[in-house]
Amino acid sequence: MKDTAFLVILGAALLVRLQLATTAPYIHDEENTAIPLSRVISLSPGHINLPLRAENHGALPAYVVKASSAIFGTTRLGYRALHVAIGLGAIVLVFLLTKEWYGPVAARWAAALMAFNEYYLAISSRATAHAPHLFLVAAAIFSFARFLRVQRAGYLYAAGGFLGLAFYCKEHSALLLPVFLVTLCQASYRRWLLGPHVYLAALVFAALIAPDVYWNLTTDRETARIPYRTEEIGYATYQSHLERIGGLGFSPYPSMFYARDAVRSLHLRVAGTTLRDETPEYRSMNPAIGLLLVGSVVAITVRRHGPDQVRVFLLLMFWGLFVFFSSITRGDPPGRLDPVSWIWVEVTILPAVILAGAWLAGATGAWRIVAWTFAGATVIYAVVNLLAPG
């Protein structure tokens, strides 16, 4: 049965992204990583070149750009078209997961909040690693949530496979593995830990990332150089990424994902120093949407009635990743790696929008009018804010 409201949301999401993909100028990660690497990918006889890694991460996003430009051309929209499609795919997965567990009203709100916040609007309209990464992580959590519902081993293998592919976009997607494991420690699923499927699914993940692990173990980062640039730049290895961790302590950067300007302003008032934004070319969501998402997660976290299994999983995912990155102080990595970034917690947007959709759907009486009006106003503002000239 068609959901007309969702189709309207998806259609509007497509139109806005096509506008941005056509008109927005390239940013650093497009001009210096994904697009130039895509140009040297080749299957021509005698000139086969299938790079495993880009400068800082796996090369999978460059293959998406290569396929997009091969199909749609080498214009701005041509390079970005498949990223737009992949971005819409993640919205569809969010809708389907939310609908299965919390109903159609929650699913529509979750889809709208995913589709129309400034951060996801921008990154799903550009040729960077972020859209494929979030799509593959969304596919992994969708598969795992299906397992929680029907308890069929095939969904565990699918989750491991999608997570392995996500690793070739951003290595920290591997942090979801312990989230999956802890979720399976619930009484309803504990028996699966006594059988082979959980561990074989983990082996699927391990098998997929094995080539990258082998490359890291056998490559000297001091001498290895990226081959697609006019200047020679060293690759970032796992060791390089680990040097982004300066130690344990409090980091305000994850909070910037949900309210960048507000957190920077507060930090200046409290600490007396400016909190440097290492990735200013990326748009953060406005504080109103950030408040709605984080507030919904907090509200559902403190609910007294027993949570359903997927809610436990989503809360573990959100708080586990958010607290982990909030506990890491700024490091000193080599090359052009950012020492710290608020974007590291981007996958927390997936559980956040699902739980926010569930919270909005559960609102009743006068509170529903207030909550729905506020939520609707924030998404409209986000679109206007992003499309406004300048």
Assess contact for 231 and 303: CB atoms under 8 A.
Answer: no
Tell me how far apart the alpha carbons of residues 119 and 378 are, in angstroms, rounded to a whole number: 13
Assess contact for 113 and 75: CB atoms under 8 A.
Answer: no
10 Å Cβ neighbour count for 115? 27
Tell me how far apart the alpha carbons of residues 242 and 245 are, in angstroms, rounded to a whole number: 6
Res 230: pLDDT = 66
Angle at 247 between CA 244 and CA 253, to 5 degrees: 65
**What is the distance, to the nearest Å, from the Cα of residue 55 to the centroid of all Cα atoms in its chain?**
19
Q: 194 exposed, middle or buried (CB, 10 Å; 0-12, 13-18, 19+)?
A: exposed
DSSP state of 49: B
Assess contact for 385 and 117: CB atoms under 8 A.
Answer: no
DSSP state of 25: P
Tell me how far apart the alpha carbons of residues 226 and 230 are, in angstroms, rounded to a whole number: 10
Amino acid at 97: L
Tell me how far apart the alpha carbons of residues 292 and 155 are, in angstroms, rounded to a whole number: 31
Which neighbouring-strand residues pair with 330?
245
Res 270: pLDDT = 87
Which has the closest alpha carbon to 87: 117, 65, 109, 115? 115
Assess contact for 121 and 382: CB atoms under 8 A.
Answer: yes
HEC readout, 290-324? HHHHHHHHHHHHCCCCCCCHHHHHHHHHHHHHHHH
HEC readout, 59-119? CHHHHHHHHHHHHHCCCHHHHHHHHHHHHHHHHHHHHHHHHHHHCHHHHHHHHHHHHCCHH
Helix (H) or strand (E) run with residue 35 in it: helix 35-40
Tell me how far apart the alpha carbons of residues 23 and 216 are, in angstroms, rounded to a whole number: 38
Assess contact for 83 and 125: CB atoms under 8 A.
Answer: yes
Residues 258-267: contacts with CB within 8 Å, 24+ apart? 258/284, 258/285, 258/287, 258/289, 258/290, 258/291, 258/293, 258/294, 259/284, 259/285, 259/287, 259/290, 259/291, 260/284, 260/342, 261/287, 262/287, 262/290
Q: How is residue 377 written in tokens? A: 């106003």
Q: Mind listing the pLDDT tens digit of every residue in the chain (390 residues)?
A: 688 999 999 999 999 999 999 999 999 899 888 999 999 888 888 888 888 898 888 999 999 999 999 999 999 999 999 999 999 999 999 999 999 999 999 999 999 999 999 999 999 999 999 999 999 999 999 999 999 999 999 999 999 999 999 999 999 999 999 999 999 998 889 999 999 999 999 999 999 999 999 998 888 877 777 776 666 677 888 888 888 888 888 889 999 999 898 898 888 888 888 888 888 889 889 899 999 999 999 999 998 666 688 999 999 999 999 999 999 988 888 877 888 888 999 999 999 999 999 999 998 888 899 999 999 999 998 888 887 765
Helix orientation angle between 309-326 and 130-150, rounded to the nearest 10 degrees:
140
Res 307: pLDDT = 64
Q: How many residues does this entry show for the chain? A: 390
Amino acid at 219: T
Distances 247 to 51, 67, 171, 342, 344 between C-alpha atoms, Å: 33, 40, 19, 17, 16
Tell me how far apart the alpha carbons of residues 318 and 326 are, in angstroms, rounded to a whole number: 12
